[in-house]
Every structure is written in structure tokens, then in C-alpha cells.
């Protein structure tokens, strides 16, 4: 395994151990200069000419092709834009349209709540007697049957890091005649993903976590190439039109991945992401995954040895766990706040889960050992019981 440690590539604060890349990736060096270049040289000097001269309008597909190389997808199958929530809405609507004789959207209780809200909202909007069927994660495979129109799953559980088998479930879904839609929010940039090999129909995700695109970075949508011309977008935006600058009164859908465009791309934010993706040019995802597992195993071992009152919430089998390690603790919120106060940044998810992102691009074994030592001291000295750590903030 080649070294994938790239901390020198990041503009990280000093004396910080950052174990929250599963929520927001850190700033890469060169991003500040790139954003200033786009603002000053492209927007500032070219004004409206930037759309043509700086190729702003091409960004969503161009950046999508860079992401496609990370996710092992074909060029022209991924497009960037808007948010993950909106891209999920688009993908689910298109998936239902491809299988409109069936009425069930199958998902699991470990799915991100926003995905469930979006599905329920779409069901209400379509008014087609659709059903959102929610089962336990371990019951998904046995629940895929001929009633199911779409299987909609997040590959990695946002709380525990439990992994669904992307290729196996996709195969089972297709065998039953269901369309497969994956949310890769906690997979992209963290796990080896091969969308082409998986044969899944749709995938969506965000780019501000492991891909380090920054807060507000655009979401993405993948459509299997043979389905692109068959797709009918639920949200018909002007840039999804076959000839957007013809300004026709009726919608004619694009015959490329552009069909999943909606509105004007966020040029500055997308330029940041485009630059951030450069770091992946010489990184093998298999090497990243191997190092993630190695560091995670050290973390779990040290935690159970030094902090036995905190119980593992993630799967113990590393093959069933993503790039985060989670623990149960009733007062986990206060403990996380105490850790942050000491310069060790993780996060908390209700009701009692402490999450730690293991991101080997900028985390090494010393960071892991020092983080556990810090937590051990906080627990031993009851430092987390201070009033300032127990008051909930808006973002946990």
C-alpha cells in the first residue's frame, strides 16, 4: 500500500485533530487563491462574458466527469448542481416514472431523515397512491419483491457507519424488477465505489464531506448511461432543456446528462470543488480504504481499553463499516463539546451517538492515539459535566 497521507495539502488549523470530515471536509491549500481568481479575474474582469470565455456553463458536466473517475462511472453520466436533497428528489421522481406500474418505495429505518422526508413529499405531490415502506436495515434484502418500484437506500448509515452491499442489493433489486437508487453521501471519497460495475440505475450524493468541496458545495446525480434518454425529470428546469437559450415555451428535454440540470450553476462554489478534486488524481481508493480500516481498528481498540464506559455503535467487522466510528454514550453531546474545547473535533447525533470520521488523507496514528488520550482524561476528570458543555447549540 502506497502512502496516502496528504496533510501538507490541507490548510488545517494548528493543534487540531479533525475527526469530522464525515460532516465537512477541511480546506485544501490553493482553494483560497482559486476562489479569489474566479471572483476577481473571471467575474470581476469578464463579467457576463465569463459564461463563454471561462466556460462556466460547462462546469456541471466537467466537474461531474472528474467525480466520475473517483466513482468509476462513465464520462457524461454524472452532473453537479443544486443540493443533494434536490438531486434525490429528481432521481426518485425519474425512477418512479420508469416503473410506474408499481407503488412501493422501499427504504430502511437507518436512512437519513431528509431522504425519508423527500420521498414522502414526492409521494404527496404525485398523488398516485404510492407507499414509502420502511424496514429495518437487516430486512432490506428479504423485503425486495415484485411490489417494489424503487429501492432507495443510503449506502453508509450516517449514524453508525454500517454499510449496505451496493452491488448485491442492486442485483437483487433488478432481479425483482425494481429500480435501484443509492445515496452516496457517506461513500463518495471514503469508499471504493464502482458505479459502472454495480449497474445501479441512479445515485446521488454531496461533495462537502470526504470530497472537501466546502460548505454549500453542490450535490451530484448519476444516471446510468442507457437510461439518460429514457428519463423524465420531475423538476424541469431551463438548463435541462435541449436548447435552453432558444427560450421555448414548451419543455424539450436534453438527451444527455444535462437533462438533470435545473438552474444556473453556482460558479464560485463549483470552482472550489473542481480545484479540490485535483487531490484525487494520484490516490488509489483501495489504499485509502485499507488505511481507513487500519486507523479505525486502532481507534476502537484504544477506546475500549481506555474508555470502557463508551460502547461501540458501529459494526465491529471492518468490512461492514464505513469511514466513521461511532460510540454510544448517554451524555455524548457534552463529551463531544468537551473534546472540541480541547482541540479534538468529532460530532454528535441524537439521541446518544458520538461520531468520529477516520480520514487518512489528514489523520494518522498519532492523531488517533492522542484523541483517545484526551477523551480518557475528559471522562476520568468529569470535565464534560461543566455547564458550558451541556447546553445544546444549533448545530450538533
- Of the candidates 208, 222, 333, 389, the residue annotated as catalytic is 208
The one-character DSSP state at 105 is E
377 is catalytic: no
117 is catalytic: no
- Of the candidates 10, 18, 89, 112, the residue annotated as catalytic is 112
Contact predicate 61/259, CB 8 Å: no
CA contacts within 13 A on the Cβ side of 89: 22
Cell numbers at residue 30, please?
490553493
201 is catalytic: no
- Of the candidates 299, 355, 362, 389, the residue annotated as catalytic is 355
- Of the candidates 115, 157, 183, 347, the residue annotated as catalytic is 183
**Which residues partner with 182 through β-bridges?**
153, 203
User: What is the Cα–Cα distance from 244 to 299, expressed in whole angstroms?
Assistant: 52
Work out the angle at residue 133's Cα, subtended by the Cα atoms of residues 100 and 123, and round it to the nearest 5 degrees: 50
349 is catalytic: no
- Of the candidates 66, 87, 102, 209, the residue annotated as catalytic is 209
387 is catalytic: no
SS3 letters across the chain: CCCCCCHHHECCCCCCEECCCCCCCCCECCHHHHHHHHHHHHHHHHHHHHHHHCCHHHHHHHHHHHHHHHCCCCCCCEEECCCHHHHHHHHHHHHHHHCCCCCEEEEECCCCHHHHHHHHHHHHHHCCCCEEEEECHHHHHHHCCCCEEEEEEECECCCCCEECCHHHHHHHHHHCCCEEEEECCCCCCCCCCCHHHHCCCEEEECCCCCCCCCCCCCCEEEECHHHHHHCCCCCCCHHHECCHHHCCCCCCECCCHHHHCCCCCCHHHHHHHHHHHHHHHHCCHHHHHHHHHHHHHHHHHHHHHHCCCCEECCCCCHHHECCEEEEECCCHHHHHHHHHHCCEECEEECCCEEEEECCCCCCCHHHHHHHHHHHHHHHHCCHHHCHHHHCCCCCC
Active site residues: 112, 183, 208-209, 355
Amino acid at each position: 500500500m502506497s502512502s496516502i497521507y496528504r496533510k501538507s495539502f490541507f490548510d488545517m488549523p494548528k493543534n487540531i485533530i479533525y475527526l469530522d470530515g464525515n460532516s465537512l471536509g477541511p480546506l485544501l491549500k490553493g482553494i483560497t487563491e482559486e476562489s479569489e481568481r474566479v471572483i476577481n479575474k473571471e467575474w470581476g474582469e469578464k463579467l457576463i462574458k465569463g459564461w463563454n470565455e471561462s466556460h462556466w456553463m460547462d462546469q456541471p458536466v466537467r466537474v461531474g466527469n472528474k467525480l466520475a473517475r473517483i466513482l468509476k462511472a462513465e464520462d457524461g453520466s454524472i452532473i453537479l448542481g443544486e443540493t443533494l436533497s434536490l438531486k434525490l428528489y429528481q432521481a426518485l421522481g425519474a425512477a418512479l416514472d420508469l416503473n410506474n406500474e408499481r407503488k412501493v418505495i422501499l427504504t430502511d429505518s437507518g436512512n437519513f431523515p431528509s431522504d425519508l422526508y423527500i420521498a414522502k413529499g414526492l409521494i404527496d405531490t404525485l398523488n398516485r397512491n404510492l407507499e414509502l415502506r420502511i424496514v429495518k436495515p437487516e430486512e432490506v434484502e428479504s423485503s425486495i419483491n415484485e411490489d417494489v418500484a424503487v429501492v432507495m437506500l443510503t449506502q453508509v448509515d450516517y449514524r453508525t457507519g454500517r454499510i449496505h452491499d451496493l452491488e448485491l442489493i442492486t442485483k437483487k433489486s433488478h432481479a425483482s424488477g425494481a429500480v435501484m437508487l443509492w445515496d452516496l453521501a457517506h461513500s463518495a471519497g471514503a469508499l471504493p465505489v464502482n458505479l459502472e460495475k454495480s449497474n445501479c440505475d441512479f445515485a446521488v450524493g454531496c461533495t462537502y464531506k470526504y470530497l472537501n468541496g466546502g460548505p454549500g458545495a453542490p450535490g451530484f446525480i448519476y444516471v446510468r448511461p442507457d437510461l439518460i434518454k429514457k428519463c423524465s425529470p420531475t423538476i424541469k428546469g431551463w438548463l435541462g432543456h435541449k436548447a435552453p437559450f432558444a427560450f421555448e415555451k414548451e419543455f424539450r428535454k436534453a438527451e444527455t446528462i444535462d437533462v438533470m440540470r435545473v438552474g444556473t450553476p453556482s460558479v464560485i462554489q463549483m470552482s472550489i470543488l473542481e480545484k479540490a478534486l485535483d487531490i484525487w488524481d494520484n490516490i488509489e481508493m483501495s489504499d485509502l480504504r485499507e488505511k481507513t480500516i487500519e486507523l479505525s481498528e486502532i481507534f476502537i481498540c484504544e477506546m475500549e481499553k481506555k474508555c470502557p464506559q463508551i460502547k461501540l455503535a458501529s459494526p465491529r467487522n471492518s468490512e461492514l463499516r464505513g469511514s466513521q466510528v461511532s460510540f454510544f454514550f448517554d451524555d455524548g453531546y457534552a463529551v463531544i463539546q468537551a473534546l472540541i474545547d480541547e482541540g479534538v473535533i468529532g460530532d454528535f447525533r441524537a439521541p446518544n451517538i458520538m461520531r468520529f470520521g477516520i480520514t487518512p488523507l489528514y489523520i494518522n496514528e498519532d492523531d488517533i492515539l492522542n484523541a483517545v488520550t484526551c477523551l480518557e482524561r475528559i471522562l476520568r476528570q468529569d470535565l464534560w459535566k461543566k455547564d458550558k458543555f451541556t447546553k445544546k447549540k444549533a448545530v450538533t
